A and B are shown apart, each in its own frame.
Chain A
Amino acid sequence: MGGLIPGASTFAGPIDSLFMVVLIVTGVAFVLVEGILVYFLIRYRRRDGGKATYTHGDRRIELTWTIIPGLMLFGLALYQYNTWIDAKIFMPGSDALVVDVSANQFEWEATYPGGDGLMDTPDDIKAPINILHFPVNRPVIIRLTSVDVLHSFFIPALRVKQDAVPGRTIMFWFEATQQGEHDLACAELCGLGHYRMRGQVTLESQADFDAWLEDLEARSQGN
């Protein structure tokens, strides 16, 4: 209880703390409302001979419980802006690693830049399906496409989720902070294999990542 699963990217800090902020605000509201409800049910349960208080409401009370929650909700919305803009609107600079990910029923196919470090050149390297490696402490930009239906690129530990839409290339980014193995799940119903459209994500140091890429290049040429 109390929060999301452990995170492994720079988004984890801000997103998880926003989750906790919302949890505290809604938690207080929840306890107050349900507490008052139960208290009233006991305190004002039917008594013999009594009559309920005859009132149709009170304008000041109505205004109070309109304005205060209204301001709180608006503030809560404002409070989210920065993280959202960072995560989805801004893109990191030129030191980022660009990776193409193509989704299809029911596979993830990643393409990495070859020795020249550039995408869309002949030395680009295709990874085995459902295998993705990313270096840590370096921004990664994913160019996401789909060849058939909608899919959604969801790595819970990295706090990234982006739908893949056929006919479009959607760019988004993240920066992993901890090495480890994680799952990439498909989060948009895509057919009978949706439940098993699982990518295996390895977050590793830049050196390990380079070594993996070199080995991959050798293996895809045949032994």
Chain B
Amino acid sequence: MKKYLWITIALLLTMWMVGCGGGGQQPAPDEGAAGEGEEAAGSVDSPTAATISGKVLFTGTAPELDPILMDAEPVCQEKHPDGAFTETVIVNSDGTLMNVFVYVKDGLGDLAFPAPQEPVLLDQTGCQYVPHVFGMQVGQDLIIRNSDGILHNIHPMPTTNRPFNLGQPVEMDTTRTFDQVEMFITIECDVHDWMLGYVSVLNHPYFDTTGNEGSFTLPNLPPGTYTIAAWHELYGEQTMEVTIGASEAMEIEFTFEGG
């Protein structure tokens, strides 16, 4: 009966291998990026650091915002007592433009920046993404939160990063990272086709998104000459060359024109 002993052992070994592997369906998030770069050449010297800040203005007429009819999702409808609208062009009362992504496009040379330890939060609430437009760094944790308690799936459509398609059936947090620089990745939810967000993944911390005052701040910049870009989902990108000295604070303005 020796042969059956062998077969049994082989069988048990296989079962053991299969059993151990079972937990690893999803590749573990890449954590290597966070720690690296600390030793990289040319870190920012705080005492001489400069700041660029400013506003994004809007002229002309903005397109009307379409109402979103969320009749089938009462949970979300209740979070919008005044009705929900698309977020394509939101002009603030002071004439500034919201949801413009302002960032240093060029000029940092080969400075390297470690990914921050603190994560970025993307909340799904009221069947909309909050924030609607945001940036993060390569290797930084992105916490994706479902605050609605109904099924959302987060389906970013990157071209250089690895895409993922993640369902969240209940109120929960899930953490993901991006490991390549890539701008303006659209994020969609296949359960609610109106849900739309944009994430930009950069290898430095010099980016900001305009809020309801239309302002942005890029602090702690090393002195130098930079290309600053401002991007809007409908009106595209504008750039500006600036040169900034040590410890200087500079104000700049972008203006987008409606149709």
Mark A residues whose CB is within 8 Å of B: 104-107, 127-131, 191-193, 195-196, 198-200, 216, 219-220, 222-223
Contacts and interface: CB of A to CB of B under 8 A. Distances in A.
A5 B73 CA distance: 25
Given A130-B72, A223-B83, A193 B190 contact: yes
Interface of B: 64-67, 69-73, 83, 150-151, 153, 165, 167, 169, 190-193
Contact of B72 (A131, A216, A222): A131
| Chain B interface, >50% SS class | loop
A222 B67 contact: yes
B64 A191 contact: no
Closest 10 CB pairs of A and B: A128-B69, A130-B72, A128-B71, A105-B190, A192-B167, A196-B151, A131-B71, A193-B191, A106-B191, A131-B72
Q: What is the interface of chain A mostly: helix, strand, loop, or mixed?
A: loop
B191 A191 contact: no
Contacts of B150: 196
Most chain A CB within a 10 A radius of its CB, from B66, B70, B190, B193: B190
A127 B70 CA distance: 10
Contacts of B193: 104, 107, 129
Given A196-B150, A222-B67, 16 more contacts: A104-B190, A104-B193, A128-B70, A129-B69, A129-B72, A130-B71, A131-B69, A192-B165, A192-B167, A196-B169, A196-B191, A216-B69, A219-B67, A220-B67, A220-B69, A222-B64
B10 to A, nearest CB: 36
Nearest to A198: B72
B67 A193 contact: no
A104 to B, nearest CB: 7
B153 A193 contact: yes
A44 B190 CA distance: 62
B67 A223 contact: yes
A193 B151 contact: yes
A223 B64 CA distance: 11
A150 B95 CA distance: 47
Contacts of B65: 222
B165 to A, nearest CB: 7
Contacts of B191: 106-107, 193, 196
A199 to B, nearest CB: 8
Nearest to A199: B72
Contacts of B69: 127-129, 131, 216, 219-220
Contact of B192 (A129, A216, A220, A222): A129
A219 to B, nearest CB: 6
B72 A200 contact: yes
A79 to B, nearest CB: 40
A106 B67 CA distance: 20
A193 B72 contact: no
A21 to B, nearest CB: 38
A132 to B, nearest CB: 10
B165 A128 contact: no
30 contacts: A104-B190, A106-B190, A107-B190, A107-B191, A107-B193, A128-B72, A129-B69, A129-B192, A130-B71, A130-B73, A131-B69, A131-B71, A131-B72, A191-B190, A192-B153, A192-B165, A193-B190, A195-B151, A196-B150, A196-B151, A196-B191, A199-B72, A200-B72, A219-B67, A220-B67, A220-B69, A222-B64, A222-B65, A222-B66, A222-B67
A193 to B, nearest CB: 5
A174 B65 CA distance: 37
Contacts of A223: 67, 83
A218 to B, nearest CB: 10
Nearest to A132: B72
A105 B155 CA distance: 12
Nearest to B150: A196
Nearest to A216: B69
A199 B72 CA distance: 8
Contacts of B151: 193, 195-196
Nearest to B67: A222
B180 to A, nearest CB: 24
Contacts of A128: 69-72
A104 B188 CA distance: 14
Nearest to B83: A223
Q: Which one of A104, A128, A130, A220 has the greatest number of beta carbons of chain B within 10 Å?
A: A128
Contacts of A131: 69, 71-72
